[in-house]
Amino acid sequence: MKIIREPVFAGIDVGSLTAKAVLVDKGGILSHAIIDTGANPEKAGKTVFDKALGKAGYRREEVRQIVGTGYGRVSLSFVDKAITELTCHAKGVRYLNRGIMTVIDIGGQDSKVIRLNRDGSMADFAMNDRCAAGTGRFLEVMARALEVGLEELGRISLRSRKPSLINSMCTVFAESEVISLLASGEEKEDVAAGLHLGIAKRVGNLAKRLGIKERVGFVGGVAKNKGLRDALESFLGIGFAPIVEDPQITGALGAAVLASETHG
Amino acid sequence: MELKQDKTIGEVRTDVALDIEIAKEKGAKVVGCLCSYFPQEMVLASGAISVGLCGTTEERIELAEEILPADQCPMVKATYGRAISGTCLLFPLADCIVGETTCDGRKKMYELMSREKPMHVMELPQMPDEKEALVHWTAEVRKLKSFIEYHVGEEITDKGLRNAIKQINEERRLLKEIHRCRRYHPVPIMGLDLVGLSTMFSYSVNREIYRKQLTMLLEELKQRIAREEFACSPERPRILWTGLGNSLGCDKVLRLVEECGGVVVCQEGCGGITRIEDMVDEEKDPLEAIAERYLRVTCSCMTPNTRRFEDIDRLISEYSIQGVIDLTWQSCHTFNIESYRVGELVKGKYGLPFLHVVTDFSQSDIGQLRVRVEGFLEQITLGNKDASHKCLQC
């Protein structure tokens, strides 16, 4: 007996640090996968796509339409269309929570603030793509300086009573500042909390400059960091809207949703 | 006529350098100029040749940074680099150079550049609507006249000035007509091609040839419109360019916009229509008329720079604009701050997507810029469904 399945659509988001894939059909999300991008974005895109296919039990040929996004979108030869992560995050977040009007995305190498129109399309955006300050890469370097895992960074910072003052948000200078703070006896949790405050201020000001409209969704790999999330909420004086899925996959999810829409 | 121009700015400059050398052998004098505030009529009336010496490419910036701080405007650094490199073909041909006190970076750099050549700096008043401004600027134009007379060795007469005004106004009229052909939808010429062609033509030594080239281009555009032969599909978002970065050599973002699926249909500011459509009054005293015309140039060094906003406002409707890009060179404080008000006008009054790009002449940020430009174009093509596009017939 042959089972007739709904048409399937895929979104592949190849970022600077991680590659994400999401499969959807008209009923919702079928599967998702996340891997490290490594040095070859095309290969990472294919691998993460296959991984998501495997989880959902589909073959490549069964996917009706694929949209690529993320900085690696231009290197993906197997996608039907490339759309920027700005539009994709807007779409993905809206798919998960219809009340969201502003998206803050902190990824591996940049941070973005996106304001949405009522129909879920992008109204305006602001980006910090000049340097690694406040990005996933920045947090990786700081976690290493603190000798903790990246996931631990958020958790330990929540214990802090007296966040350290970090003067520089430049990845290079902040790293040496962290090392000297530790040498002068500051607690790891205080240094971690201080780093989060610094990032919150930087990204928060980018958002304020663009203008925030509630509700606000916080996404990207860095949104998994609870310490930073709290710091950003308190800097902006708001609570983020709940997002039921992993915040790291909203770009790939938006790409998959766009794939299903462009297909009609 | 082919509406493409494949020469780089370096090749264009090499060609004109040869023409200038030939003219100099026959006794011609050459005045180097650096800005839209420079009254070209003065040079034409003296019988000399004027040549633009602004730096628009990155290759000589490294050399300039041995003397100038690195965190300066790329145009200031590239211009100084051309002056001291010894490899610019045009700079050595200038008998003298004229600059203006438009911004701090330029005026302090000119102090150093004046070591290389006889140089005159015009003091530009920066509150153009005050009545004293024109009085002062007219005096500056008069001082310029003496400087050019001295270095060219010819007297500048009123008759000569009137003749020069007529000639340059005629060039402006042709250019204005060329630019206005882009009001049609779709456009008969891509933005990048017009930038390439008009930059190349503007380097002509012989103004009669220049006018002929402009006339030919205008005729070609009119014919293409009549034949409904357009440069691109009607789907491409129509972009208004404002600020800087729309001349051959420093056109990397403009190129990116058209590579990513947009089309630049109008440019405001230097290199654009607003520097062309404003004529010098042919009835008034020539020197005073020249002073009035050049004080109306809308650089962000002016405060308040009211006319720039009026221009952008008008051009958005005239050219059926769907999105506006404002380009600022790094460390250009005035254009950088003024961009906030441009954004207010574009987003507030028209509800159009607006992108402010701050960059330099290098290719190092091209990946990040691509995300911004594509995102901006997606705002037009994927969003904003209610804003229907009006086809303009002129």
pLDDT tens for each residue of A141-191: 999 999 998 889 999 999 999 999 998 888 889 999 999 999 999 999 999
A71 contact residues in B (CB cutoff 8 A): 367, 371
Q: Which of B96, B111, B102, B93 is nearest to B147 (CA)?
A: B96
Average pLDDT over residues B32-56: 96
B6 vs B106 pLDDT, higher one: B106
pLDDT for position A264: 56
Question: Is the pLDDT confidence value at B390 over 50?
Answer: no
- CA nearest A209 in B: which residue? B340
Question: Is residue B384 less than 8 Å (CB to CB) from chain A?
Answer: yes
pLDDT for position A1: 55
Q: How far apart are CA B324 and CA B309, in angstroms?
A: 13
pLDDT for position B384: 54
Q: Which of B11, B44, B48, B12 is nearest to B29 (CA)?
A: B48
According to CATH, the superfamily of the domain at A99-242 is ATPase, nucleotide binding domain (3.30.420.40)
pLDDT for position A237: 97
The CATH class of the A1-97+244-264 domain is alpha beta
Q: Which helix (H) or strand (E) holds A82?
A: strand A81-82
* Least CB–CB distance from A71: residue in B367, B372, B375: B367
Q: Are the beta carbons of B97 and B56 closer than 8 angstroms?
A: no
Q: Do A122 and B378 touch (CB under 8 A)?
A: yes
Instruction: Please state the pTM of the whole predicted model.
Output: 0.92
Q: How far apart are CA A223 and CA A104, in angstroms?
A: 9
Band of residue B383 on the pLDDT scale cut at 50, 70, 90: confident
Whether the bond into A215 is cis, omega within 30 of 0: yes
Average pLDDT over residues B143-164: 98
Residues 71-90 of A with CB under 8 A from B: 71, 74, 83-87
Question: Is residue A261 less than 8 Å (CB to CB) from chain B?
Answer: no
Q: How far apart are CA A49 and CA A39, in angstroms?
A: 17
Selected for mutation to probe chain A from B382, B385, B386 (highest A CB count within 10 Å) is: B382
Q: How far apart are CA B364 and CA B346, in angstroms?
A: 29
The size of the A-B interface in CB pairs under 8 A is: 48
Q: How far apart are CA A216 and CA A49, in angstroms?
A: 29
Decide yes or no: CATH 3.90.1200.10 for domain B9-156. Answer: no
* Percent with pLDDT over 70 in chain B: 97
Question: Is the pLDDT confidence value at A238 over 60?
Answer: yes
Strand partners, A116: A122
Q: Which helix (H) or strand (E) holds A116?
A: strand A111-116
Token pair 């008069």: residue? B142
Q: Are the beta carbons of B277 and B307 closer than 8 angstroms?
A: no
Q: Quick one: DSSP state of residue B210? A: H
**Strand ranges in chain B using DSSP code E only, listed in sequence order:** 30-33, 49-52, 96-100, 119-122, 238-243, 263-267, 323-329, 354-359
Question: Is the pLDDT confidence value at B60 over 70?
Answer: yes
Question: Is the pLDDT confidence value at B392 over 50?
Answer: no
Where do the structural domains in chain A lie, given as residue ranges?
Answer: 1-97+244-264, 99-242
